[in-house]
Amino acid sequence: MACPSDHANRFGSLIPGRVHAARRGVQAAPRSALALAGRQGREEGMRRRLLLGSADLLLARGAAAQGAAGAWAPDRPVRLLVGFAAGGSSDVTARLVAQAMSERLGQPVLVENRPGAAGNIAAEAVARAAPDGHTLLFGVSSTLAANRWLYRTLPFDTLRDFAPLSQVSVIPNLIVVNPQLPVRSIPELIAYAKANPGRLNYGSAGAGTSLHMASASFAARAGLEMVHVPYRGGAPAATDLIAGKIQMIASPMVEVVGAVQAGQLRALAVTTARRSPLLPEVPTVAETLPGFEIPLWNGILAPAATPPAAVARLSAEIGAALRTEELRRRLLEQGSEPAPSTPEQFADFIRAEIPRWAEIVRLSGATAD
């Protein structure tokens, strides 16, 4: 860019008196001191206008650059922490979403399993992570809403320590039993458990998980005495159920629907208010115990101080991925209902769920400490 003095010299060469003199091939006549002072004043004004114009241009370019930087993008792989073992419903769903997010963000989204304490270990790790958009939590209803009522102390606060990005899906629990158990319906299960108090073992993904809550609530509502066997994830619980080491679980449909379809497990009921389109022949628990409803849900969150630009971009890409035909189809095939939302909608949803799960915990009588 030319400096202001260069501009002034070019403008100075266009002063009319000099142009006319140059055309006549003669030297311009001397001017009075007053005329010279006027000319110098005009040239100084031109210099100032040029300087101001250059400054305005630099400011405009700076603002444009700042706006471009506001379109946040990850500059390295993004970690998506899951609080449960590989192969469970949270892990399976998180990996489907992570793959779709990777394609849209231009960086790998890597699922990292941190099982234990009903998801609290993974949640604490994300709450304490750098809030730069590169560490996210795949959170579930038990971790985000039920655990505050199950544990005396938690290493995080759901409403204070996270920036919700988007809900992902709603999932029905499926009450399943080993086929060797001589029951084929919820009424038959209730009758058998009452005739054999303390002899039925039910598994869960860990003390305080939504699987625990669903089974404990069912037992409390039906007046049953059953033994809780906690695992470090839903997948190992389902494996032991197939092997006959335990007799029942209330599991997210994605974890057991294949075994049900293969005849390895027997489905008795779903815990949602309506029957599942994937297994329409399976009744709801509410058809036997009116009003019984414990749906599961999940979503993705970032650490609390994550920049708004990162929150907006990540939320938009999660929502766009969940609206693609391919991801919707894969989630529906496992019994999950896609439920994309804005950060504000997801935050409001979590606030409403926390007191609802307080009542579920109270009715179940479950504790985790």
Q: How many domains does the chain have?
A: 2
pTM of the complete model: 0.73
Between 1 and 111, the higher pLDDT residue: 111
Cα angle for residues 352, 354, 357 (degrees, 5° grid): 115
Q: Are residues 155 and 48 in the same domain?
A: no
**Cβ neighbour number for residue 257 with a 10 Å cutoff:** 22
Q: Is the pLDDT of residue 33 over 80?
A: no
pLDDT at position 363, please? 81
Q: Are residues 285 and 310 in the same domain?
A: yes
Q: Are residues 64 and 119 in the same domain?
A: no
Out of 22, 41, 68, pick the residue that ends a domain.
68
Q: Are residues 28 and 176 in the same domain?
A: no
pLDDT at position 1, please? 45
Directed axis angle between helix 253-261 and helix 89-105, to 10°?
110
Q: Are residues 257 and 319 in the same domain?
A: yes
Q: Is the pLDDT of residue 46 over 90?
A: no
Confidence of residue 42 (pLDDT cuts 50, 70, 90): low
Question: How does pLDDT run across 317-364, given as a tens digit for each residue?
Answer: 999 999 999 999 999 998 899 999 999 999 999 999 999 999 889 888
Structural domain boundaries enclosing 139: 77-369
Report, as an integer, the average pLDDT of 258-278.
95
Q: Are residues 233 and 255 in the same domain?
A: yes
Report, as an integer, the average pLDDT of 305-313.
98
Q: Are residues 244 and 264 in the same domain?
A: yes
Q: Are residues 121 and 187 in the same domain?
A: yes
CA distances to 136, 140, 144, 208, 295 from 352, in Å: 22, 14, 11, 19, 14
Instruction: Of 119, 145, 124, give the one whose Cα is nearest residue 135.
Output: 124
Out of 34, 68, 102, pick the residue that ends a domain.
68
Q: Is the pLDDT of residue 20 over 80?
A: no
Instruction: Of 287, 277, 288, 281, give the one whose Cα is nearest residue 266.
Output: 281
Q: Are residues 121 and 229 in the same domain?
A: yes
* CATH code for the domain of 347: 3.40.190.150
Question: How does pLDDT run across 155-178, given as a tens digit for each residue?
Answer: 999 999 999 999 999 998 999 999
Q: Are residues 253 and 282 in the same domain?
A: yes
Out of 68, 89, 104, pick the residue that ends a domain.
68
Q: Are residues 147 and 35 in the same domain?
A: no
Q: Are residues 111 and 19 in the same domain?
A: no
Question: How does pLDDT run across 208-229, given as a tens digit for each residue?
Answer: 788 898 999 999 999 999 999 9
pLDDT at position 87, please? 86
